[in-house]
């Protein structure tokens, strides 16, 4: 059975290391996972007063609702997720009682160009996902240090990390299948 997976990328930069990494990593996923990046850069800051009639919010919420699962890829900003990612979580969970996240399996890839590998962002995001009722892949955990060196010049995961990401994606596919 095929599953639609929404990708939420915490970095808004078009050429970000996080975006390059997740785009390379999904090439190693089982064929039954169909990925679509759901952009978050056009979402306004969360304000319930501006929700009605906002096309960007409606499009975002509709895409999340249509997904079977969500893959989050995030850099670390000040030991947490970027503001744009938190904003997207808020829009997807509102209005109260109409969350688009609930029950959707999730996986987290965190990145850093340093050696801490986005550990703080990864765990901070997991706290929100637990509250949003998203069963989240526990193992393997994907903390990517030196993300600027994780993808080769052809847009592929470097050889040393291919086995890890192949296993990560297989485990995510198994979580999705189990949840469905």
- The per-residue pLDDT for 116 is 86
pLDDT at 52 over 90: no
Mean pLDDT of 19-28: 98
Count of Cβ atoms closer than 10 Å to residue 62 Cβ:
12
pLDDT at 81 over 80: yes
- The per-residue pLDDT for 152 is 97
Q: Please, which pLDDT band fits residue 41 given cuts at 50, 70 and 90?
A: very high
- The per-residue pLDDT for 35 is 98
**Summary mean pLDDT of the chain:** 96
Q: Please, which pLDDT band fits residue 49 given cuts at 50, 70 and 90?
A: confident
10-19, 29-38, 109-118, 144-153: lowest mean pLDDT where?
Answer: 109-118
Interval 82-135: pLDDT, tens: 999 999 999 999 988 999 999 999 999 999 998 888 899 999 999 999 999 999
- As given in the structure block, the two tokens for residue 103 are 């029950």
Q: Which CATH superfamily is domain 3-179 in?
A: Flavodoxin domain (3.40.50.360)
What are the extents of the domains in the chain?
3-179
Concatenated DSSP letters of 24-60? HHGGGS-TTEEEEE---TTPPPP-GGG-TT-HHHHHH
């Amino acid at each position: 059975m095929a599953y639609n997976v929404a990708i939420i990328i915490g970095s808004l930069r078009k050429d970000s290391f996080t975006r390059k990494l997740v785009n390379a990593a999904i090439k190693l996923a089982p064929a039954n996972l169909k990925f679509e990046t759901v952009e978050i850069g056009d979402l306004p800051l969360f304000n319930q007063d501006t929700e009605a009639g906002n096309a960007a919010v409606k499009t975002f919420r509709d895409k999340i609702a249509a997904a079977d699962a969500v893959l989050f890829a995030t850099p670390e900003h000040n030991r947490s997720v970027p503001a744009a990612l938190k904003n997207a979580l808020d829009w997807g969970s509102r209005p109260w009682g109409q969350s688009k996240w609930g029950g959707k399996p999730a996986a987290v890839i965190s990145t850093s160009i340093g050696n801490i590998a986005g550990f703080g962002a990864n765990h901070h995001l997991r706290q929100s996902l637990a509250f949003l009722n998203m069963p989240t892949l526990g193992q393997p955990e994907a903390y990517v240090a030196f993300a600027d060196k994780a993808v080769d010049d052809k847009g592929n995961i470097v050889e040393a990390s291919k086995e890890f990401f192949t296993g990560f994606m297989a485990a995510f596919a198994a979580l999705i299948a189990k949840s469905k």
